[in-house]
């Protein structure tokens, strides 16, 4: 499984989200066979996946905070205080997180090409610039 962080939308507004690729199975212990763990056309119920991802993401974010792995600068400096950080995260625990899951539409090579474009792109490309 891998994920690519994407922090803006097509309208160039702040829109943090992840593009994830999750295999629907795995290699056998001997490494010679692919074992499909999913029924054809089915991965996981998206509501279950959404809530589990939210819970685990926030749990690990809290652990990173507790371990001193997060740094806050400028307008976010106040979040370095434990209670402020917890208050900031509280609404995220209640919000529904959106999960959109589908099988690759054109095969693995095209999928990797599509996701790869997000890793080597700037927020606004030269052809979208109107004036400097």
Residues 78-132 have pLDDT tens digits of 999 999 999 999 999 999 998 888 777 787 788 888 777 777 766 667 777 776 5
What pTM does this model have? 0.69
| Cβ contact 35:24 at 8 Å | no
- Token duo for residue 69: 């792995």
* Mean pLDDT in residue range 21-43: 82
Residue 50: its H or E element: helix 46-66
Tell me the C-alpha distance between 26 and 124, whole Å: 37
Tell me the C-alpha distance between 58 and 42, whole Å: 26
Given a cut of 70, whether residue 19 has pLDDT beyond it is yes
Beta-bridge partner residues of 18: 5
Residue 56: its H or E element: helix 46-66
3-16 pLDDT tens trace: 888 887 777 788 88
């Amino acid at each position: 499984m891998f994920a690519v962080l994407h922090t803006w939308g097509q309208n160039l507004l702040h829109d943090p989200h992840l593009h994830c690729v999750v295999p629907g199975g795995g290699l056998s212990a001997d490494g010679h066979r692919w074992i499909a763990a999913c029924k054809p056309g089915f991965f996981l119920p998206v509501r279950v996946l959404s809530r589990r991802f939210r819970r685990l993401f926030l749990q690990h974010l809290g652990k990173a905070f507790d371990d001193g792995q997060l740094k806050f600068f400028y307008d976010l400096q106040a979040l370095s205080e434990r209670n402020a950080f917890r208050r900031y995260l509280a609404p995220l625990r209640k919000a529904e997180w959106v999960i959109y899951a589908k099988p690759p539409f054109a095969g693995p090579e095209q999928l990797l090409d599509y996701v790869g474009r997000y890793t080597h792109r700037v927020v606004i490309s030269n052809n979208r610039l109107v004036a400097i």
